[in-house]
Structure 1
């Protein structure tokens, strides 16, 4: 089964062709990082305009690289949400146009399901499992009994972890996107600032990163007021140690409570070297699955892979009324089925 995936939820215009949810025949992505770098973050209107400029070319390049014709595609899967509404609309309308022109079945895929199913491309997804979803907009712990069964048991109460990384990067003068720069410098420093670890006193599996972010801002402000120089490498190391300790230990605690051995890490922050290292060091006895870096960030291969498995569990197709939903919830898109 050849699935054409389309992803445009933020600032990546991506189209992929994936066979049977596993074999990536092509994945062509046009990134806008350099465009938004001068603004220090993604500007929604600028992002949507560049999607319009690039989308036709990306479709053509993905099909060409895969060596297939539009007539050979069996299913079109497109990100319908969540994300930036203008960006989403470009991808959704391009996918609907392709579907209509070539008479191909169409489905809408949740962006976060795509990140989770990026793991299915290179690994065998084993159930039951705990999925730790970490990105610029989301931090969630999800219990999965089987394919496309998502039970959210923990989430951030304020900042997402990727958002916290970008804000801390700005405080210490690092360019956008900040996460990779913080990760790199963290490996050149030591945890000398001993920032707080926020576990929350309610005993839940929720997260909170606003206090940690504020601690970094206050530390930098106070040092500036006193004319003291901050060791940026050490501050990045201290911040990353605090974040990864909480993420990993909460994930392992939930896995132990649920009695599962399989853990999936997904989302853009799953590319973080420090997070991977802590999982490898502390998750003894668990099967931890993390995608390759090229499938951690937004890409259409993950949407095509998710579309393949979604079609098995939710075979209903979309029609030309399919619309983008900037705030689409995972559990609303895929309600839990009664056993």
Structure 2
């Protein structure tokens, strides 16, 4: 942290001690009151730090939703070589990058630490080593800048990001799908969430990564720098026979909103092994029907997500939990970038009387802006903003953390029979 300490404590902190500060102290009470009024009227500026997994992000936004700057340092290519994220490597790379990322964000916004009103940092859930780097650094900025600290729940940030760019009133239904999560929840307000369903095993983004790796898609130049999810989506669009591989509908007999993708993964691995034996494939060669298999996997995944989401909609409608004119589905998370999934969910929303709102793809993946915006929402609601120095230093990270209150059993008890909306337009 030597570089961090030098830049922030010696360069930024010294700006609090400029000679003009002495002049400020000699101002008249009338002038001071005018300054205070201006400070109260201007939008608050929040700096957000994201280090929950393998991206080091810093975003700066104000309470009007204006993005003042965003900087992300991705570790994707590093972990691609290892076939997955290595927590120790991720933690070390965050440590190496975080100072420069925050410096660049401040510089890009033409701001100094003194111009920031509060520091917001992801503290849960995620990789412990990665979260600890962000939390330690965020506490450091809070301490040297004498700024309030706002601990952020990563999934809450994903759920609320859309409100920064579009008017979405509470309450609404949110679907979060990513490499680490698949989750349906009602967002009651900034600090109140009701989880209707979550993953029983693997998240869809994780499944896509594993299948793409097993298919050796990275050996095809077009896909060599893509994430597994991106590669599968594009490969699926090139399929010539999307129905060649059969996948059974996923746990349709369970009348809940829980997700499960492990069975599909095992079936997919079976198909890959079968073709490798049939065509005597080894080494770096890709199976002949890789694109067709990707299309089948994508369709199976999308149908499962749509089925669970539709049941959540019917649960909400049956109990009138959200008034008819306000019923909205928001999707976010890395897998929400998948256009095929978005089109399918739009069809379901149209059939079930829900407005479909998609978080802009560039804000779906982990980033500092969503953390800063969550901090801004909490700042405006005066919820979870810590000002006491001792309390700030006591904030710790949590590897696992549920999203709000669990209504999973309540959905199960409702025993809603749900026939999937036909996705003919896909």
Give 2:311's aligned residue. Answer: 253
Mapped partners of 1:160, 1:167: distance in 2: 11
Mapped partners of 1:21, 1:200: distance in 2: 43
Give 1:274's aligned residue. Answer: 340
How far the C-alpha of 1:196 sits from its partner, in A, is: 1.9
How far the C-alpha of 1:21 sits from its partner, in A, is: 5.6
Q: Does structure 1 residue 179 correspond to structure 2 residue 237?
A: no
Q: How does 1:210-221 map to 2 (within 5 A)?
A: 210-221=262-273
Q: Deviations over 1:138-171 (max 9, x none)?
A: 1111112333321111111111111111111122
Secondary structure of the residue aligned to 1:117 is helix
Give 1:165's aligned residue. Answer: 208
Give 1:330's aligned residue. Answer: 403
**Cα contact 1:155–1:207 (8 A) shared by 2:** yes
Aligned residues: 332
Q: CA 1:21 to 1:188, structure 2 compared with 1: closer, same or farther past 3 Å?
A: farther
Mapped partners of 2:65, 2:246: distance in 1: 43
Mapped partners of 2:162, 2:76: distance in 1: 24
Mapped partners of 2:384, 2:278: distance in 1: 63
**Cα contact 1:3–1:74 (8 A) shared by 2:** yes
Mapped partners of 2:398, 2:109: distance in 1: 29
Range with greater deviation from structure 2 (117-126 or 55-64) = 117-126
How far the C-alpha of 1:93 sits from its partner, in A, is: 0.7
Mapped partners of 1:230, 1:210: distance in 2: 24
**Cα contact 2:194–2:403 (8 A) shared by 1:** no
Mapped partners of 2:81, 2:270: distance in 1: 25
Give 1:290's aligned residue. Answer: 358
What TM-score does the superposition give when structure 2 sets the normalisation length? Answer: 0.75
Bigger proportion of residues as helix: 2
Structure with the greater relative contact order (CA < 8 A, sep ≥ 6): 1 or 2? 1
Unmatched segments (≥5 aa) in structure 2: 1-43, 219-225, 281-286, 406-426
**Cα contact 1:130–1:262 (8 A) shared by 2:** yes
Q: Which structure's CA Rg is the greater one?
A: 2
Mapped partners of 1:127, 1:287: distance in 2: 13
Range with greater deviation from structure 2 (15-24 or 118-127) = 118-127
Q: CA RMSD in A?
A: 1.7
**Cα contact 2:148–2:385 (8 A) shared by 1:** no
Mapped partners of 1:76, 1:244: distance in 2: 37
**Cα contact 2:329–2:349 (8 A) shared by 1:** no
Q: Deviations over 1:236-269 (max 9, x none)?
A: 1110011111112321231132024200111111
How far the C-alpha of 1:330 sits from its partner, in A, is: 2.3
What TM-score does the superposition give when structure 1 sets the normalisation length? Answer: 0.93
**Cα contact 1:79–1:108 (8 A) shared by 2:** yes
